[in-house]
Amino acid sequence: MFHVLVLKYLQPADVVGQTRPAHLAWLDGEVARGRLLLTGRLEDQTGVLLITGDISTEDAEELMTNDPYALAGLVHYERIGFTGGVRAQGF
């Protein structure tokens, strides 16, 4: 199961920015582990979108729980799971 994880900021940008280095380091670690495939800020700058690799729902829930932004109470997460039935080669 693949997942789209949508984070919405609950605090102003300057408050979120204080935790951004820890969040970026966490993202790098999860990309290296293969649990995250693609991440980036939303176009309107109100949050972040994460696309996971083929991981369990439990692993996706763990990602959401252990994000430094979530640990600091700075974001609200929404998870959308999908099967990834049609894929580009290599996924």
Q: What is the pTM of this model?
A: 0.90
Give the residue-averaged pLDDT of 15-28: 97
- The boundaries of the domain holding residue 27 are 2-82
Give the residue-averaged pLDDT of 74-84: 95
Distance CA 20, CA 37 (A): 19
Helices (H), 1-91: 13-17, 20-33, 57-66, 68-71
Domain membership flag for residue 20:
yes
pLDDT for residue 88: 81
Domain membership flag for residue 90:
no
**What count of other Cβ atoms lies within 10 Å of the Cβ of residue 75?**
22
Domain membership flag for residue 9:
yes
Give the residue-averaged pLDDT of 47-60: 96
Domain membership flag for residue 88:
no
84 pLDDT more than 90:
no
CATH number at residue 73: 3.30.70.1060
The structural domain count of the chain equals: 1
Give the residue-averaged pLDDT of 59-63: 97
55 pLDDT more than 90:
yes
